Structure 1
Amino acid sequence: MTKQLLVITGATGSGKTTVSHYLKEAFQIPQVVTHTTRPRRHNEVDGVDYYFETPDTLAQKHLVESVSYSGYQYGSSHEALDLAWQKAQLISLVVDTKGAQTYLETFPEEASVLFLTVSETDALITRLEKRKDSPEAIQKRIQSAEFKRDLMLPSHLNQRATVLVNDDWETTKQALATLIATLKN
């Protein structure tokens, strides 16, 4: 098996992190740890959830892509990809749709895109509330241009993405098993 990268994308609350964690538990697919300059949340671990950086330390990384979101920088690096590929030939990465496009351009042979969505946009807000995001943070996020952009599969990803409606977790898990079997063959 050659190196492969499953790029998981979709709107905030669509289940990207949940899917990535499930792939690690059920299929031993490591997640690429990305970088951020935002403060660590109480339950987050540096090097597991993110590499928590300062603007200066982030600038020293060899970033594949980066984005500013809510006043903080987020990005993924060649260093983090290499670390994940040392663990397995098939790895996953969570990014926004703009980042997914960058990965398809940068790694056209290795990258596959999984676009997560839901049937009703209101479900995304409910999920953000359940993960205990503050009402102010939720409003800021759902009013952002990035959130609106990531609600729909961009046309440039149409031919390259697997779309998965993540309304029911059991159905999602079955679809993921099928996708992983396809990628491993």
Structure 2
Amino acid sequence: MYKIKEKEKLFIYTGPDGSGRKTIAKMVATAFDMETVLSYTTRPPRHYEQDGEDYHFVTVEQFKLMQENQEFLESVEIDGFHYGIREEDIVKAFESHNLVYLTLNPEGTEKLKNMYGDKVMRFFIYADRETVIRRQKEREDNAETIERHMKHYDEIMTYKNQCEHVFENYDRPQVSFQISEVIEKFLDRDFIVTDY
């Protein structure tokens, strides 16, 4: 297992699908010199997703081979699809950045938190059921996908109380600003604002 150095930090965004975790994570990353690490998955890409940008989309055979070669730092199976984070990708990200972020489901988040303890900060991003369903419809997820996600909604929401920070996402710029402030404090880089 990769040993995270003193200055290196992992920020993990989790919460229900359709809560806007990925968008917020990207917005916050622009305020800091942050690198992301993408998960590998065997699920088919949605029409708006790009390989190498949203996930690394691989076949079940490729995934199993990577598992056999012990390439994954953590992997989970949800609804018959496999998801995993490759240790090598985290190592690579930390070679050029001290701050790395991931967007994971609660299972993956919990595994990394157990591995790295206080080097990991978890942000739970959520919205109410109706908002989450509306957002998934707006991005044209099909009914079957939405139903699959909503089946996990209540279960995912129970993870909220275990995360260091929880944000209800109805205003993306505001939430990303609030998260940036939290990270700023966490890094002890408080910028002094002088009133003239």
**TM bucket, shorter chain:** 0.7 to 0.9
1:152 to 2:155 alignment: no
C-alpha spacing 1:100/1:16, structure 2 compared with 1 (3 Å): same
- Counterpart of 1:76, as a letter, is I
In structure 2, relative to structure 1, the CA distance for the partners of 1:98 and 1:35 (3 Å cut) is same
Residues of 2 paired with 1:55 and 1:67: CA distance?
A: 13
| Aligned counterpart, 1:31 | 36
1:21 counterpart residue number:
26
Cα 1:5–1:78 change in 2 (3 A) is same
| AA matched with 2:111 | T
Task: Please report how far the alpha carbon of residue 49 of structure 1 lies from its aligned counterpart in structure 2 after TM superposition.
Answer: 1.6
Are residue 167 (structure 1) and residue 167 (structure 2) matched? Answer: no
Aligned CA distance change for structure 1 residues 85 and 141 (closer, same or farther; 3 Å):
same
Moved more, 130-139 or 65-74: 65-74
* SS in structure 1 at match of 2:141: coil
Rounded to whole Å, the distance in 1 between the matches of 2:50 and 2:92 is 17
Match of 2:12 in 1: 7
Counterpart in the other structure of 2:182: 179
Cα pair 2:36 2:100 within 8 Å, conserved: yes
Q: CA RMSD in A?
A: 1.9
Structure 1, unpaired ranges of 5+: none
**Hey, what's the Cα distance between the residues in 2 that align with 1:27 and 1:82?**
19
When structure 1 is superposed on structure 2, of 129-138 and 44-53 the one drifting more is 44-53
Return the offset for 1:28: 3.1
Kindly indicate whether residue 146 of structure 2 is the aligned counterpart of residue 138 of structure 1: yes
1:62-113: CA deviation from partner (whole Å, max 9, x where unpaired): 2222222332111112112112212310111111112211111111132111
Q: What percentage of aligned pairs have identical amino acids?
A: 25
Structure 2 unaligned spans of 5+: 1-5, 189-196
Change (3 A) 1:42 1:14: closer
Counterpart of 1:48 in structure 2 is 53
> By how many angstroms is 1:44 displaced?
3.1
Contact kept, 8 Å, 2:46 with 2:141, in 1: the verdict is no
Asked if residue 76 in structure 1 is aligned to residue 79 in structure 2, the reply is no
